[in-house]
Amino acid sequence: MTISELRAEIAYHNLRYHQQDDPEISDAEYDELVRQLARLEAEHPELGTTESVGAPPSELFTPVVHLTPMMSLDNVTTFEELSAWGKRMERYIDSNVEYICELKMDGLAVSLLYEQGRLTRAATRGDGRVGEDITLNVHQIESAPQQLAGISPPVLEVRGEIFMPVSSFKALNEQQAQQGQRLFANPRNAAAGSLRQKDPAITAGRNLAFFAYQLAHLEGGPTFTHHGQTLDYLKSLGLPINSTTQIVDSLQKVHDFCQHWQVQRHDNDYEIDGVVVKVNDLAQRLELGSTSKAPRWAVAFKFPPEERNTLLKDIMVSIGRSGKATPFAVLEPVFVGGSTVRLATLHNQDQVALKDVRPGDTVIVRKAGDVIPEVVGPVLPKRPADLPAWKFPEQCPECGSHLSRTPGESDTYCSSAHCPKQLEQRIVYFASRGCMDIENLGERTVQLFMSLNLLKDLGDVYSLDYERIQQLEGFGETSVSNLKNGIEASKQRPLANLLCGLGIRHLGAAGSRVLAQAFGHLDRLLEASEDEIANTEGIGNVIARSVCEFFQQPDNRQLVDRLRLSGVNFQGPDRSELPQTLQGLSIVVTGSLQGFSRDGAEEAIKERGGKSPGSVSKKTNAVVLGEAPGAAKINKARELKIPVLNEAEFVHLLETGEILARDGESAVVR
């Protein structure tokens, strides 16, 4: 691409992003284009530089010339680049530099003008020099006060970010879906679309919020020596300042702040896409100055992108153990949010229709934190002409039976009771970790055994023909004996695991535990009426009906008999047998342990009277650390100085209730 083509391309994407609120490429791809241009301009100074970033104001709003231009920031994406920037600051200043670290809000930059304490004008950034007048819309945002508190200066201009909280974004998209309206791709787009409305009443209904991050202009107020003081001042006037902002005295601490928020980026109810690091001392800032585009005294450390564009190669349908037909996207592999994504669920027929994604589309793929990858939507300008819409199949791709959908429900099911895929998935689930936990009976082995008729249904698990299995390729004496031992051991699993493994619709691990505890034996549950089950604390009508219906079916009764004959444990727990050593304690487990399955460890805690929530908080008494633990949990434990236990210490805790303390500081992030 030539430099002018590149400039035109960037201008086009600026327009789509800033003016049409409908970006065609991801932020990461846009940043890459800007970097390419910066490189070319540095190599060829004779071709000039690009002055404006952003987009000229649209005709929808009155133009506003900013009192001082709204600059953008230089970006860095690695810790090396960040520390190179810091070292440049320190070399130039030739003394210690104090930094102020702020979260980089992922919203829209705005400039608010207060005259005699009243909000008289609000403007978007536009191209940095001229923005758009959005005063009436900003009047609808509660956290952008219309009147400053305290003694107001005659003139004050403040810059900050308008954003949509993640919870509001989710609620808005749910509402859009219900009304069959276009979904917003992310909170930033939703905020932009809600703010740049001709009708402020629409903005009013969208729950936008504001954080101030820069005092741009002040007449008749106090004077300041540091940025931190200006933020305190803004706060004293009632402007919202992000409370995570931190002043630090070394590059190492800047690094720690960035690292911390990169891991915890989803902890807040707003999206951030990086950290802005600024020199705190205002005199030093003057000394450092600015380039034509951005100040030298600040830099944006951008987190790795969580959204990328890729090709949607196909949409396929998978059949689950209950017969549920789930559409999923087959993608051109794309590295996003820290891993390569090839497949992503599309949930159900309505979701595909609502997103209107079609095989052949370029789609936005999002993978945020621990959340499963998601197809956000198509990039419409890239859609090839005449690309047909995708139709949900009418037949089960596995057995050819009719796929049916109950009116009013969103899921589609394979109607056959003998669909081989359903049977296979039921067995795989029965043998999986939270259920009977049969180590060597994974999906591949189940598929192989089914193809050879060694397994026809769930009941066959305990009557496998091991002699025949030993003849199979890849099955030596050791692996057969491991399989046999695993299957034997599973007969002693707690009743709750068995109940869960039966795959009764609506009954999950928690409900199974409640039923096992309440009824104490499978036979008592078999005899119970629907009312009796529904009267159990923690069990609702839907589960009760489903459990009852399950055990009324002759096939399932037969299955129970076969399991009984095989010697599978039907006996439930007896609480009085275990000493309640963990009464009142809250213990979080992260990573995998040698002697416990994940659920097993949590079960052991609960059986002894303790609690085992999924995340670390101030109320957590200890964190048990296994192999490959979650970084977020360790960091939180460290921050809150919560004792961290290894497996041996965990066993000691279970037996005695005693926490052999090593505080969170000694935890190692692997």
The stretch near ligand IVH (CB under 6 A) out of 292-300, 310-318, 343-351, 535-543 is 292-300
- Reduced DSSP (H G I as helix, E B as strand, rest coil) percent helix, strand, coil of the chain, to 5: 40, 20, 40
Tokens representing residue 113 in the block: 């003008």
Selected catalytic residue, list 104, 278, 355, 633? 104
User: Which one of residues 50, 72, 268, 401 is an interface residue with ligand IVH (CB under 6 A)?
Assistant: 72
Nearer to ligand IVH, 276 or 563 (CB): 276
Binding status of residue 73 toward ligand IVH by CB under 6 A: yes
Residue 101 CB neighbour total at 10 angstroms? 24
Binding status of residue 213 toward ligand IVH by CB under 6 A: yes
Q: To which H or E segment does residue 130 belong?
A: strand 130-132
Binding status of residue 357 toward ligand IVH by CB under 6 A: no
Please report where in the chains the tokens 């690009």 appear, as a residue. Answer: 50
Binding status of residue 303 toward ligand IVH by CB under 6 A: no
Binding status of residue 241 toward ligand IVH by CB under 6 A: no
Binding status of residue 27 toward ligand IVH by CB under 6 A: no
Binding status of residue 295 toward ligand IVH by CB under 6 A: yes
Site size with ligand IVH, rule: CB under 6 A: 14
126 with 57: CB under 8 angstroms?
A: yes
Which residues in 372-391 contact ligand IVH (CB under 6 A)?
Answer: none
Instruction: Judge whether 198 counts as a catalytic residue.
Output: no
Binding status of residue 134 toward ligand IVH by CB under 6 A: no
Report d(CA 515, CA 495) in Å as an integer: 9
Report d(CA 206, CA 516) in Å as an integer: 46
The stretch near ligand IVH (CB under 6 A) out of 259-267, 295-303, 309-317, 589-597 is 295-303
Sign of CA dihedral 102, 106, 110, 116: negative
Closest approach, Cβ 111 to ligand IVH, in A, equals: 10
The stretch near ligand IVH (CB under 6 A) out of 66-74, 88-96, 190-198, 338-346 is 66-74
- With CB atoms as reference, the residue minimizing the distance to ligand IVH is 109
Q: Tell me the residue ranges of DSSP E strands in 397-500.
A: 403-405, 412-414
Report d(CA 542, CA 550) in Å as an integer: 12
Nearer to ligand IVH, 214 or 310 (CB): 214
The residue among 252, 288, 296, 271 whose CA lies nearest residue 101 is 252
Helix residue ranges per DSSP H, 209-281: 227-236, 251-263
Binding status of residue 276 toward ligand IVH by CB under 6 A: yes
Which residues contact residue 602 at a Cβ distance below 8 angstroms, ignoring those fewer than 6 apart? Answer: 589, 612
Binding status of residue 254 toward ligand IVH by CB under 6 A: no
- Give me the 139-168 binding string for ligand IVH, x by CB under 6 A, dash otherwise: ----------------------x-------
Which residues in 97-126 contact ligand IVH (CB under 6 A)?
Answer: 102, 104-105, 109
Binding status of residue 539 toward ligand IVH by CB under 6 A: no
211 with 163: CB under 8 angstroms?
A: yes
60 with 228: CB under 8 angstroms?
A: no
- Contacting positions for ligand IVH (CB under 6 A): 71-73, 102, 104-105, 109, 161, 213-214, 276, 295, 298, 300
Would you please indicate which residues are annotated as catalytic (active-site) residues? 104
